[in-house]
Amino acid sequence: EAGVTQSPTHLIKTRGQQATLRCSPISGHTSVYWYQQALGLGLQFLLWYDEGEERNRGNFPPRFSGRQFPNYSSELNVNALELEDSALYLCASSLSEENTIYFGEGSWLTVV
């Protein structure tokens, strides 16, 4: 069974540009989570989508946004990129009624 898959693996963008990261959850999982792992800041919760709806977001500015598609895949958009947005972005998924979150390999975003 395929795990959580993310693309691209690496992305380099210039300050001010927009970045889009994509995530496919484990088959059957309806909840998708996004976390940011920045150097020195640890793992920070970004967004939670379930059944196509945004259920919760962490303490991040509105330029971090996303959506979940009918097939439960998700994308994270980061607008007006800043240097400090450089991080590993981890996507995770779970069954709505289950409590275990499974993570993907992550997407490295570098802002120059």
Q: Is residue 60 near another protein by the rule CB under 8 A? A: no
Closest-CA residue to 25 (of 52, 59, 60): 52
Q: How far is the CB of 16 from another protein (least distance, A)?
A: 27
Contact at 8 Å (CB) between 106 and 6? yes
Considering only 65, 67, 75, 102, the residue that binds another protein (CB under 8 A) is 102
Q: Is residue 21 near another protein by the rule CB under 8 A? A: no
- Which range in 17-25, 60-68, 72-80, 93-101 contacts another protein by CB under 8 A? 93-101
What does the binding site for another protein look like in residue numbers (CB under 8 A)?
4, 31, 33, 42-43, 45, 48, 55-56, 90, 92, 94, 99-106
